Structure 1
């Protein structure tokens, strides 16, 4: 007994492109196929290959996303496509409408008609799916921004801060768009940036924190939100990612920059703290449903994608010009200092002091007769003292 050929699959890059084109996350695609998100990530990276029924289900789903017939792809081979003309001619023999009609004789008339030759179409042309960077960013924003605002609200309890954090994260994503576009999980990249901005310690020094926001209208939602806000930021973030977003433990640990055991301990402590105050939420499934309801009951708005891109570009231009102006000012100051600074050491001049008790300087005048006589005697007479030794020739 021979084993049949495996169901053909597109290359790993094509698998990922089809999933992203359909706006599906790895978790959503894994749910349809019946595997974990990590398995989908391994299939799209080429590390592993699906087998058996998982392979058939995965191939069928990819073919559906590509807009093709999965049965036709699995049964038709490239060698059979050129002979599709004679096969189509044999089909009218089995239809009742053609029993009375004469069958065409083999010859030049029996060749496939030229208008039916290009009927078997290859894979859809990816040209209509090609998006500009702005269009791809807008699609990512419209797909992930509403959910991210609701999730960030669970972390902060402030509606405006949640919206601003998500917008800042998407602006950072637009600034690093080539990196984000090639990332395996662009929504995860934006989510991590939004959470870091929302939980930043300097947020408490902003003027808006002086005025408390109105709590949720439902008493149960208000109690749950207060319980979440009492948790430490790291425990709160781990709880929202695992029980709110639905990430697995390794992905939660990676996004919170912690080890898997540390993330598990934070999750257990957070669940215990919530269960102590709200015993009805001890079940993780009930907690997940309540977190989704709390985030969905709030009216949270999002800005249009072009506005987010425009504001981000304007802010980047402002800081770029400010950096250029500061650099030019620094260069000018340094040049002026080098041109005006002394090239050698000059000792400082001591401050002048007034001297008292010294007679004023008198201008010397003509000598008197006595002074002239004294000068003549000094020049003519020898002064007493040892004679000077002078060298002499012998």
Structure 2
């Protein structure tokens, strides 16, 4: 099947296939997703589509299998939630954390990354250097510049300063 033939096949059958799969899934967006994914797979197998003489049936079958697979995955996830319970809720960030996040956003990207890893994640210099791929001496320089830039922004509250330690 040539690219033109495939495009024509797609154009003439995508709406019909989406409607058919919608009746199976009951969800238009899900139907559109699986039909599109099936067409992507069909493109990769277009030579087999010509041999079988039933390209629309192949796409419909593939889309149906994809929909069932997604449904099973969703059912498994729902059962896992029931077995293990919902994760504990995380407290909202306090004003100090919001101040820190806003202040960090004012830094250049490398300084921000080094400062966040070292001060917020509490990683040692050597590990920050390994994770960022930046030399340890350069990490130290970034941290010094970050401290100098952050100091005037974070002097407003003691909570903000404690958040950096």
Q: What is the TM-score of this pair, normalised by structure 2?
A: 0.43
Structure index of larger Rg: 1
Q: Which is bigger in relative contact order (C-alpha 8 A, separation at least 6)? A: 2
- Higher share of residues assigned helix: 2
